Structure 1
Amino acid sequence: MSAARSAKADGLRVVRVALLAAIAGTAFAGCATGAAPAPPPPVPTAEPAPAAEPAPPSGPAPTPVAVDVSAELTALEARYSARVGVSAMDTGTGREVAFRAGERFAYASTLKVFVAAEFLRRVPAAERDAMVTWTRGDVDDAGYSPVTGARVAEGLPLAALAEAAVRSSDNAATNLLLDRLGGPASLDAGLEELGDTTSEVVHDEPALNRVSPGAVADTSTPLAFTANLRTLLLGDALAPADRQLLTEWMSGNATGDALVRAGAPEGWAVADKSGGAGGIRNDVALVTPPGRDPILVTVFTEKTDEGAAYEDRLVAETAAVVLDALA
C-alpha cells in the first residue's frame, strides 16, 4: 500500500465515524438532474465558443487568510433543512472560506469535470477524434443522456463525448469516457497522482449518485475538490491548450445557470460543473471577477430530510454569501 493510500485509509476511518453521527439518514438516488430532462440539446460543436483562459498563478501562493461566514451558512442550513459544505479560495489575495470543508459529501455529477480533465491529461490530441459508438441499452442504463441519446445511430468522437459530459452532464458520455480511461478505479488513481488522496471514485453513472449515510464510496470533500480545480485549471497538470478547452466546456455548461452563476455578482464570469440527484445539489466553479485573479469555489449540499428534493436556491444563496465575503 502506498503512503498516500495509507493516509487516505486512516483519514477515511475517522470520517466514517464522524459521518455516522452527523448525517441524517437520506438515501440518494437519481440521475444527473432532479427535473425531467429537457429536449436533447444540439450536438456539441467541434469548436466551442472561445473563453478567456485564466492565467496560472505566478510566484508563490499568497498566505491563506480565513474569512468567517459560518453564521450565514448555518442559517441557510437551518432554513433549507440541509447540510452545506464550502471550500473557496481567492487565488489573488489568499482569502479563503471553509465551512464543513473537510466533511464528506456525495459529489454526484460534479465528478464529470474531472473525468473530462483526465481524458485531456491522458489521451493524446491525435487520438481524440476517434469515433465511438454505443447502443440504446447503454443510454437507457446510464439515465440522463441528452446528447448520446440522440446519436445512437451515428456515434461521436471521443472529444465530443468529453464536451457532452461537461456541458450537458450526459451520463452515457461519462461512462464511455470512463471505459476509455480504464474505469472508475483508473480515475481514482489519476486523482491520486494529482495529490487527491481523499476522493473515492468507485462507480459510474447512475450508481455514483446512490450514496447511503456514512458511506465513503463516491464521496469527497469540498476542500479536495477545490484543490483539484486549482491543480487542473490554474496549475500545470494540463497543457495550456487543454486547460483552455476544459474552461471553455465549463463556461458553456448548460446545467449551472441557477447555481453559483446565479449567486455571483453581475459581471463576474463563472465556469462551472453542476451535480444533482435526490437531495444532493452541488456546483464547482472557477469565478473570475473583472480585473482580478480567479476565485475557486466548491459548494456541496444535501437535504437532511429523507425523500426531500434538492433546491437550486440553496446553492445560489450559499455562493452569494461566499462571493460577497471575498469581493
Structure 2
Amino acid sequence: MTRRALLHTAARPRVALAVVALTLTACAPSGGVPVSPAPTSSRAERDDVSTGLQAVEERYDVTVGVSLLNTGTGETISYRGAERFGFASTVKVFLAAEFLRRTPEDARDDLVRWTAADIERAGYSPVTTARLDTGLTAAELAEAAVRESDNTATNLVFDQIGGPAELDAALSRLGDDVTDIVDVEPGLNTVGPDSTGNTTTADAFTTSLAALRGAGSSTDADAPTLAEWMSGNATGDALVRAGAPSGWTVADKSGGAGAVRNDIAVVTPPGRPPLVLTVLTRKNDASAPYEDAAVSESAAVVLNTVR
C-alpha cells in the first residue's frame, strides 16, 4: 500500500497468517533472535481468529486492525492489517526512539523551557503543566511523551528532532512508506477526508516497531531506555495489558482520540521470545467515544491463539 491509499472498510475480512524469513534484532537481546520457520497454521485457527475479531467489531460497533509478529518463529497474524487508521498517540514511541537515536548523551540533559501558551495549544499536558516553572531535561520530555502521553512534551521533542517530516523520514528508513506523519499535537489526532495524513496500518506499525533496533533507529544501549518508558505507560492498563494472558509482560504505547483507540506493544510470554502486536480501532460512528474493551478483547483473541 502506498501513501496515496485512503481509509476504507473491507467487508468480512479474513485473517492472513504467514511465515516471514528474516532475522530480527528488535525487542530482543543484543545480537538478535534468529527467526526460524514456523509450523503452518490450520484453517480452523485462522477461522477462530477471524470469527473472534469480527465478534469484537460487532459487539462494540468498531472496525479493528490487528497485526502480530512472533519474533521467535517469524509467524505473522494480520486482520485488516493493510487498512488505514488514525494512529493518535501511538506514534510517540517512534518519536522517542528517533530522539534517542539522534541525541547525544550529554545533550539529553539539556534543560528545556516552555510557556503556558505552548500548553494551551497542545492540550493534554499533565507533566509539563506541573513543571512549567522549572522545566525538564530533553530526556525527561521524551519520557513524558511516552509514559504519560504529554502533548506539550511531545511537541517539544518534535522540535528536538526537526518536526514531523523528520520522524516520517526516520520511519521511511525503517522501510515504512505507509505511515504518514504530518502534524504535531493536537493535530496528529485528526484524519482529514480523503487524506492519508496522520494514519498508518497495523502491519506497518508492527513491522516498524520490530525493525527499530535492527535498522539502527536506536542503539543497543538505548533500547532498554525505550522499553522501560513503554513498560511504565500510565495509559495502557486497560488495553493490550488487560487482554494478555496472566504472567505475560507488556510494554506498550497507547493512543486515543474521539472514536479512535489504539495500542502498540511488545508482549513477552515467560521463557519465550517477544511478540510485537498492534491493535488499531475506530468506532463506526465517528461521533461515538472510543472503548478500551475493543482493544483489550481484540488483543485477547490474537494472543490466546499463540499462547
**In 1, Cα distance between the equivalents of 2:241 and 2:294?**
13
- Which of 95, 98, 101 is matched with 1:115 structurally? 95
Match of 2:29 among 42, 47, 55: 55
1:236 CA displacement: 4.6
Residue segments in structure 2 that go unaligned for 5+ positions in a row: 12-26
Report the equivalent of 1:129.
109
Partner of 1:308: 288
CA spacing shift, 1:21–1:313, aligned 2, 3 Å:
closer
Identity of aligned residues (%): 54
1:12 aligned onto 2:3: yes
Q: Deviations over 1:1-54 (max 9, x none)?
A: xxxxxxx7xx233x22xx35769xxxxxxxxxxxxxxxxxxxxxxxxxxxxx74
Aligned to 1:244: 224
- For 1:198, the equivalent position in structure 2 comes to 178
> Aligned with 1:12: secondary structure?
coil
Residue 232 of structure 1, CA deviation: 1.7
Letter in 2 for 1:289: P
Is the partner of 1:240 in helix, strand or coil? Answer: coil
Equivalence map 1:62-101=2 (5 Å)? 62-63=36-37, 68=46, 69-101=49-81
Structure 1 residue 60: deviation in Å? 4.1
Q: Which residue number in structure 1 is paired with residue 137 of structure 2? A: 157
In 2, Cα distance between the equivalents of 1:131 and 1:104?
38
Question: How many residues are treated as equivalent by the alignment?
Answer: 286
Cα shift at 1:237: 3.4
Give, in whole Å, the separation in 2 of the partners of 1:193 and 1:90. 22
> CA separation of 1:254/1:59 partners in 2, compared to 1, >3 Å: closer, same or farther?
closer
Cα 1:21–1:55, aligned 2, differ >3 Å: closer, same or farther?
closer
2: CA distance between counterparts of 1:244 and 1:224? Answer: 23
- Structure 1 residue 274 corresponds to structure 2 residue 254: yes
Specify the SS of the correspondent of 1:325: coil
TM-score (norm 2): 0.88
Distance 1:91 1:100, change over 3 A: same
Output the CA distance in 1 between the equivalents of 2:29 and 2:199.
Answer: 30
How much is the aligned-residue C-alpha RMSD, in angstroms?
1.8
- Asked if structure 1 preserves the Cα contact closer than 8 Å seen for 2:213 and 2:219, the reply is no
Point out which structure has higher relative CO (alpha carbons under 8 A, 6+ apart).
1
How far apart are 1:59 and its partner, in Å? 6.0
| SS of equivalent to 1:147 | helix
User: In the alignment, does 2:151 pair up with 1:171?
Assistant: yes
Q: Which residue identity lines up with residue 284 of structure 2 in the other structure?
A: T
1:58 and 1:138 map into 2 onto residues whose CA distance is 41
Per-residue deviation, residues 217-246 of structure 1 (Å, max 9, x unmatched):
000111111111111256653211200100
Query: Which sits farther off after the overlay, 64-73 or 192-201?
Result: 64-73
